[in-house]
């Protein structure tokens, strides 16, 4: 410890002053002043008034006094003594005493917090706003229970640790039963004890005015509210209502909107329709074989032509100009961190222990006030490897670990529904375990929402890959994504059509998500389904110019598993929403209905039909197969030839354009061979067609960590 010589102690003024912007600044930090007992400080006329990470600054009327120098030596840090006017120091002490009860001062006095750590947290609070207690939790300085105990001391309320064993009382089950689950969850309060007419509750924010008003209106008799930790309230709710939460995550959409759920894939009407259609088709093939095959062929060719024309019209606007929402640096700079809303980030994890370190690093890099971040790692209780990896990791305070009970369906949307029950954010976003999002993406989404207005329920970021150069499959995969997120989805946005969302980086308004029934746990492409349901409810989706890097599948078998799940989900989504075609026409409107058919039905249709025509074409050239000539009369032959040449050329060309516009010039040449990649898609589509009958809600897990590049190099 060092002390300035008494004769050299600089003079300091302790009076508040205004900055050039008119802001009033008090040079005395009450939490630092708490380092010295108030009575001793007054008697010796000393006042610790500021601190950095290395130095405590102490003002004294007579810094040369031995008693003063002996006192400051007890602070255990480097001390800089300053000389102060007696009147100014007395006024400053009055201000400090008037501020008694402030969180930081109490935390320091309780020995829970060091002044230097508090100083750093206060500096962060000055920059971005927020509650000092939450900031200290997110910095890892205090636990949520530490904060709750300090708040209890500050407010004069009793504190309770819900999991200490002392809070379990007889009659507690009857207390839970006094109100339904959504009462306790919506108010973040849980019962602790019940004895006759007296009810004891624990809350994360007992001073919330609406809570006291609700309790006074609902309960008769004495109600006492104890202070407890935020995470403990959520954990107690999950512990008590675990099975109910699981049921809600699996059946809520089925219960409130059964017509939108894929739990039962085909409705009774659809079963009857397909049975009659199949019977008629079989009869026609037996009685009028040639004519029936020509009609089916003609319908397929017309479908191809319609899809080609549709996609070319969709691509026209984004190919010529940028249509996605752009958050400019100026707009991002104008965002006031102190006014940013809470944001929930869902990260479903299953068998992802290997990518956990990179995931946590990517989450830390998010440029968003950490006290407003509500990150939920969604784990499955029968995944001990990932649970063990998470438990060995020291997580920042803004990350909440949620362990789901093991139950079918084992799908990502079910996990997200479970996490939504305890989400604190005004907005939510999903990231996959291997995702590396743009650090500014949350802020860009906020800008996009504010620009777009209340009719926008979702902001979709773009996806690309960090291992695009690994092999031919990853190159094709990357050009496909460049076309999908760079041309197709922006084109659907401009055309005001339903947008099948990407499986990750879709940012949603929490209230809108809850309004439409959240995710369908039985749909294996819950993202595409959610995009359709948003549109049906009257909400739009916009694309924001922000990237999330993923791992492109480099293994063919693993790629087929992933792609077959996507195709199967598109078939699921089409069947679910086509249960009532006339109603769907009214809900989507003519433009939306046609867009839905082209995107959701057209995608698996083309993948499934391509091999048939390729086989027929090959057989014709090899052996002049007579059936081909029967199925292709001259007028239909030329139509098919046009589809083959013009259609394939145009889509390969658009892949090249998309790769070039994205800046992936080296991938342009690989887009020329895109038809070979479409052949692989047909393999996955064939598997999807089999599984849509045998295992419609089975989730084909994608294995991550196969990239031959280090993911860490792509985290800024």
- The per-residue DSSP string of 43-77 comes to HHTEEEEEE-SSEEEEEES-TT-HHHHHHHHTT-S
Identify the pLDDT of residue 292.
87
Q: What is the pLDDT of residue 211?
A: 77
453: helix, strand or coil: coil
Whole-Å CA distances, 636 to 23, 207, 305, 618, 649: 78, 76, 12, 17, 20
Token pair 């294995």 in the structure block, residue: 703
Model confidence at 183: pLDDT above 80: yes
Per-residue pLDDT tens digits for 635-688 = 777 777 777 767 777 778 888 888 888 888 888 888 888 888 888 888 999 999
Spatial separation of the C-alpha atoms in residues 258 and 260, rounded to whole Å: 5
3-class state of residue 519 by DSSP: coil
Q: Give the 3-state secondary structure of residue 378.
A: strand
Q: What angle do CA 452, 458, 464 make, to 5 degrees?
A: 110
Q: Are 254 and 261 in contact (CB under 8 A)?
A: yes
**499 vs 316, more confident:** 499
Q: How many Cα atoms occupy the beta-carbon half-sphere of 543 within 13 Å?
A: 28
Model confidence at 580, in pLDDT bands (50, 70, 90)?
Answer: very high
pLDDT of 5-57, one tens digit each?
555 789 999 988 877 767 778 888 877 887 887 778 888 899 998 887 778 89
- Tell me the average pLDDT of the chain: 85
Asked whether the predicted pLDDT for residue 602 surpasses 50, the reply is yes
Task: Return the C-alpha torsion angle 703, 415, 140, 126, nearest 10.
Answer: 110
Q: Which of 137-141, 208-212, 698-702 has the lowest mean pLDDT?
A: 208-212
In angstroms, rounded to a whole number, what is the distance separating the alpha carbons of residues 582 and 214?
A: 45
Residue 345 three-state SS? strand
Q: How far apart are CA 534 and CA 512, in angstroms?
A: 8
- What confidence tier does 1 reach under pLDDT thresholds 50, 70, 90? very low
70 band by pLDDT with thresholds 50, 70 and 90: confident
**pLDDT of amino acid 291:** 85
Assign 609 to helix, strand or coil. helix
SS3 321: coil
pLDDT at residue number 627 = 66
Q: Which two tokens stand for residue 263?
A: 């739990």
> Which strand (E) or helix (H) includes residue 335?
none
Rounded to whole angstroms, the Cα distance separating 665 from 658 reads 10
Cis status of the peptide bond prior to 409, with omega within 30 of 0:
yes
Percent of the chain with pLDDT over 90: 34
8 Å CB contact between 436 and 716: no
Q: How far apart are CA 613 and CA 592, in angstroms?
A: 29
Whether residue 348 is predicted with pLDDT greater than 70 in this model: the reply is: yes
Nearest 5°: the CA angle 525, 527, 533 is 110
Q: How confident is the model at residue 342 (pLDDT cuts 50, 70, 90)?
A: very high
Q: Distance between CA atoms of 472 and 469, rounded to whole angstroms? A: 8
Q: What is the DSSP letter of 460?
A: E
Residue ranges of domains in the chain, CATH in brackets: 1-98 (3.30.300.160), 157-240 (3.30.300.160), 300-714 (3.90.550.10)
Please classify residue 96 by burial: count the beta carbons closer than 10 Å to its beta carbon, then call 0-12 exposed, 13-18 middle and 19+ buried: buried
pLDDT digits (tens, 9 = 90+) for 390-438: 999 988 889 999 999 988 888 999 999 999 999 999 999 999 998 999 9
Residue 92 CA to chain centroid, in angstroms?
46
- CA dist., res. 492 & res. 657, Å (int): 17
Residue 100 scores a pLDDT above 50: no
- Give the 3-state secondary structure of residue 203: strand
- Which residues, 6+ apart, have CB-to-CB distance to 7 below 8 Å? 64
Residue 106 has pLDDT above 80, yes or no: yes
Please give the structure tokens belonging to residue 116: 């230097």
Distance CA 32, CA 55 (A): 11
- Read off the pLDDT of residues 688-697 as tens digits, 9 standing for 90 and up: 999 998 888 8
Enter the tokens of residue 326: 């752009």
Other CB atoms within 10 A of residue 475 CB = 23
Q: Whose CA is closest to 657, among 218, 315, 167, 304?
A: 315
Nearest in space to 700 (alpha carbons), one of 514, 569, 533: 569
Whether residue 538 is predicted with pLDDT greater than 90 in this model: the reply is yes
Vertex 142 angle, CA 140 and 145, to 5°: 125
- Tokens encoding 509: 């308004």
DSSP β-ladder status, 399-404 and 373-380: parallel
CA 243 to chain CA centroid, nearest Å = 24
In which band, very low, low, confident or very high, does the pLDDT at 72 lie, cut at 50, 70 and 90?
Answer: confident
Bridge partners of 261, per DSSP, are none
Tell me the pLDDT tens digit for each residue of 260-314: 999 988 989 989 999 999 999 999 988 888 888 888 888 888 888 888 888 888 8
Say how far apart CA 429 and CA 344 lie, in whole Å: 6
SS3 305: helix
Q: Are strands 78-83 and 55-60 parallel, antiparallel or unpaired?
A: parallel
Give the angle 668-438-446 at the CA atoms, nearest 5°.
120
Length in residues, the chain? 716
The pTM (predicted TM-score) of the whole model is: 0.81
Helix axes 648-661, 472-483, angle to 10 degrees: 90
Residues 129, 216: contact at Cβ < 8 Å?
A: no
Confidence grade of residue 4 (pLDDT, cut at 50, 70, 90): very low
* Sheet strands side by side (includes 78-83): 46-51, 55-60, 78-83
**Residue 319: how many other CB atoms lie within 10 Å:** 17
Q: 31 or 511: whose pLDDT is higher?
A: 511
| Exposure letters 390-429 (e unless 16+ CB within 10 A, then b) | beeeeeebbbbbbbbeeeebbbbbbbbbbbbbbbbbbbbb
C-alpha span between 59 and 85 (Å, rounded): 9
DSSP letter for 702, please. P
The candidate with the shortest Cα–Cα distance to 598, out of 581, 574, 572, is: 574
Reading across the β-sheet that carries 427-430, which strands appear in turn?
399-404, 373-380, 343-348, 427-430, 506-509, 456-465, 540-550, 436-437
What would the mean pLDDT of 176-202 be, rounded to a whole number?
A: 84
Count of beta carbons in the 10 Å neighbourhood of residue 652: 18
| CB-count exposure of residue 543 (10 Å: 0-12, 13-18, 19+) | buried
> Other C-beta atoms within 10 Å of 313: how many?
11
| Residue range 329-356: mean pLDDT, rounded | 90
User: Pick from 522, 697, 508, 500: which is nearest to 597 by CA?
Assistant: 500
- Whole-number Å distance between alpha carbons of 67 and 416: 62
């Amino acid at each position: 410890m060092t002390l300035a010589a008494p004769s050299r102690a600089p003079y300091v003024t302790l009076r508040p002053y205004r900055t050039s912007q008119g802001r009033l600044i008090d040079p005395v930090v009450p939490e630092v002043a708490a380092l010295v007992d108030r009575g001793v400080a007054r008697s010796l006329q000393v006042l610790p008034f500021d601190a950095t990470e290395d130095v405590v600054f102490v003002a004294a009327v007579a810094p040369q006094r031995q008693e003063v120098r002996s006192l400051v030596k007890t602070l255990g840090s480097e001390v800089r003594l300053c000389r102060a006017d007696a009147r100014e120091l007395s006024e400053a002490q009055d201000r400090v005493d008037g501020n008694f009860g402030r969180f930081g001062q109490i935390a320091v006095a309780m020995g829970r917090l060091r002044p230097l750590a508090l100083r750093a947290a206060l500096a962060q609070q000055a920059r971005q706003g927020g509650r000092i207690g939450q900031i200290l939790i997110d910095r890892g300085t205090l636990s949520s229970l530490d904060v709750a105990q300090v708040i209890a001391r500050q407010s004069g309320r009793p504190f309770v640790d819900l999991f200490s064993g002392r809070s379990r009382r007889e009659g507690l089950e009857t207390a839970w039963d006094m109100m339904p689950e959504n009462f306790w969850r919506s108010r973040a309060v849980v019962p602790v004890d019940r004895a006759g007419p007296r009810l004891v509750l624990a809350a994360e924010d007992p001073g919330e005015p609406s809570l006291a008003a609700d309790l006074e209106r609902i309960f008769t008799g004495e109600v006492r509210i104890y202070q407890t930790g935020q995470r403990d309230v959520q954990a107690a709710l999950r512990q008590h209502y675990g099975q109910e939460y699981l049921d809600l995550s699996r059946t809520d959409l089925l219960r409130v909107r059964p017509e939108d759920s894929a739990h039962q894939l085909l409705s009774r009407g659809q079963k009857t329709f397909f049975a009659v259609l199949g019977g008629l088709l079989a009869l026609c093939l037996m009685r009028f074989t040639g004519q029936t095959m020509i009609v089916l062929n003609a319908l397929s060719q017309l479908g191809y032509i319609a899809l080609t024309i549709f996609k070319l019209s969709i691509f026209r606007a984004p190919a010529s100009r940028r249509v996605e929402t752009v958050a400019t640096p100026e707009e991002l700079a104008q965002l006031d961190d102190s006014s940013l809303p809470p944001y929930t980030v869902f990260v479903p994890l299953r068998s992802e222990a290997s990518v956990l370190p990179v995931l946590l690093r990517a989450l830390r890099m998010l440029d968003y006030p950490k006290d407003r971040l509500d990150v939920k790692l969604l784990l499955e209780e029968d995944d001990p490897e990932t649970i063990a990896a998470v438990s060995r990791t020291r997580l920042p305070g803004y990350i909440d670990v949620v362990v789901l009970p093991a139950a079918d369906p084992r799908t990502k949307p079910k996990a997200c529904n479970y996490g939504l029950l305890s989400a604190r954010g005004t907005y939510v976003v999903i990231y996959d375990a291997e995702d590396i999002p743009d650090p500014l993406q949350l802020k860009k989404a906020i800008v996009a929402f504010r620009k777009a207005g209340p009719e926008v329920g979702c902001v979709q970021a773009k996806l690309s890959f960090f291992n695009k150069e690994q092999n031919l499959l990853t190159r094709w995969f990357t050009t496909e994504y460049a076309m999908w997120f760079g041309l197709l989805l922006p084109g659907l946005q401009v055309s005001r059509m339903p947008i099948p969302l990407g499986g990750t980086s879709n940012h949603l308004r929490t209230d809108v998500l809850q309004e439409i029934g959240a995710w369908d746990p039985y749909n294996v492409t819950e993202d595409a389904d959610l995009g359709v349901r948003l549109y049906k409810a009257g909400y739009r989706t916009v694309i924001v110019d922000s990237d999330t890097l993923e791992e492109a599948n480099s293994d063919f078998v693993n790629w087929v598993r992933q792609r077959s799940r996507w195709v199967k989900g598109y078939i699921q989504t089409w069947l679910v929403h086509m249960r009532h075609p006339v109603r769907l026409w009214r809900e989507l409107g003519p433009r939306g209905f046609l867009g839905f058919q082209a995107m959701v039905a057209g995608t698996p249709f083309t993948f499934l039909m391509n091999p048939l025509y390729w086989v027929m074409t090959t057989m014709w050239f090899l052996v002049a197969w007579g059936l081909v000539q029967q199925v292709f009369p001259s007028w239909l032959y030329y139509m098919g030839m046009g589809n083959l040449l013009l259609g394939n050329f145009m889509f390969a060309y658009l892949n090249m354009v998309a790769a070039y516009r994205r800046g992936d010039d080296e991938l342009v040449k690989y887009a020329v061979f895109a038809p070979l990649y479409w052949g692989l898609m047909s393999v996955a589509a064939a598997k999807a067609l089999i599984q849509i009958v045998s295992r419609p809600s089975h989730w084909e897990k994608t294995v991550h960590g196969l990239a031959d590049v280090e993911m860490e190099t792509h985290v800024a």
